A and B are shown apart, each in its own frame.
Chain A
Amino acid sequence: MSESIMSDDYCDTLCELFNIGMGRAAASLSEMIDEEVLLSVPSLEAVSYRDAMEKLHEQSPDPIDVVEQYFDGDFSGSAFLFFGDQSSLELVRRILGESYASTQLGELEQEALKEVSNIILNACFGCIAEVLDCEIESGVPVLLRGNVGDILDIERMHIGKEPLVLTLSMSFSLPDNLIQGQVSLLMTSESIRKLIRELEQYTMLYT
């Protein structure tokens, strides 16, 4: 699947940039919760919107918590941080303290979750922009809860009829394995082409 949109080499390069971004984010997160954050080995897929939706529906058939952050600049699109079952609440509990025992996301919890997502997504944007020497500006994070289909509705996002999806599967967890997340980027076809050109130029420096 990935070959048709982005070559394995460019996927590898982009994956490594996300890996660095997630590593930096994990270091910040680790400081916040005073605990080591475990990172899985990342994998990246560049797929059509339809394929991405099918896969995400399989992974998350029930309503989920997602933080969306729009980004613009040399590339534009929407970034999503998906949290696994109960992961969002657990993450907030770790940040706010062990005694915190809320069972739903109130205003304070939502703010904490958005801030964590802001750190994670901006670490990824920052790393891509730094290494590829381009500019990416991010918007304000928005917390959404619902089915995957409603959250990734292209009409809502005004992202063109055939957006492409870069899905970075990299989970971050704590030693007791209660928190898991995944990053996905929806980008217009034009932005993906620009990104591929940048990756091509960057990779040529080392071949």
Chain B
Amino acid sequence: MSSAMSVLVVDDSRLTRMIITKIISEHFTDWNISHAENAATALQLVKSKKFDFISLDHNMPDQTGFEILGELIESQPDAKIGVFTANVQKALRKRFEEQGAKFYGKPVTEDMILEFIQQEA
């Protein structure tokens, strides 16, 4: 992947934001990574900046990832969205996948992040 991409990491867990950031930074040193610790911040960021990839948590304090998915897609129609959540129930996975999001169960691993980025690129 030659050109620098822009990534938004949406997760209320600081640990998970750190893990995702570290994995991406190690493989793509010139990529720009933004963080949102809740749904409201994510919605603000997608209105002001263009993203190529969005990693999205589901269980967050203000709104769930699924509740803001439509708005994220609307604001960033070209962004590839990957859901990284601990809630690995089939019903939830199905709902996200029906909206075109990739679904991954936590804990986040390097393989997962690379698969999301490389498969979607």
Contacts and interface: CB of A to CB of B under 8 A. Distances in A.
Interface stretch (A12-20, A63-71, A98-106, A156-164): A12-20
A91 B31 CA distance: 47
A127 B106 CA distance: 10
Interface stretch (A37-45, A51-59, A72-80, A110-118): A37-45
Contacts of A41: 12, 59-61
Interface residues of A, number: 27
A130 B109 CA distance: 13
Would you call the interface of chain A mostly helix, strand, loop, or mixed? helix
Interface string A158-196: 000000000000000000000000000000000000000
Contacts of B15: 12-13, 16, 203, 206
Interface in A19-48: 19-24, 26-27, 30, 36-37, 39-42
A206 B113 CA distance: 15
Contact of A23 (B90, B91, B106): B106
B90 A131 contact: no
A153 interface: no
A135 interface: no
A200 interface: no
A23 B13 contact: no
Given A40-B59, A206-B22, A23 B16 contact: no
A39 B13 contact: no
A4 interface: no
Interface string B55-79: 0000111000000000000000000
B105 A16 contact: no
A187 to B, nearest CB: 20
B89 interface: yes
B13 A24 contact: no
Contacts of B87: 23, 26-27, 39
B59 A37 contact: no
Given A16-B15, A27-B88, A39-B86, 6 more contacts: A22-B86, A27-B90, A36-B92, A42-B59, A206-B15, A206-B18
30 contacts: A9-B14, A12-B13, A12-B15, A16-B16, A16-B86, A16-B106, A19-B59, A19-B106, A20-B86, A21-B86, A23-B59, A23-B86, A23-B88, A23-B89, A23-B105, A23-B106, A24-B88, A24-B105, A26-B87, A26-B88, A26-B89, A27-B88, A36-B91, A39-B59, A39-B86, A41-B12, A127-B107, A131-B107, A206-B15, A206-B18
Q: Which 7 A-B residue pairs are closest in the complex by CB-CB distance? A: A23-B86, A16-B13, A20-B86, A206-B18, A36-B91, A19-B86, A23-B87
Interface of A: 9, 12-13, 15-17, 19-24, 26-27, 30, 36-37, 39-42, 127, 130-131, 203, 206-207
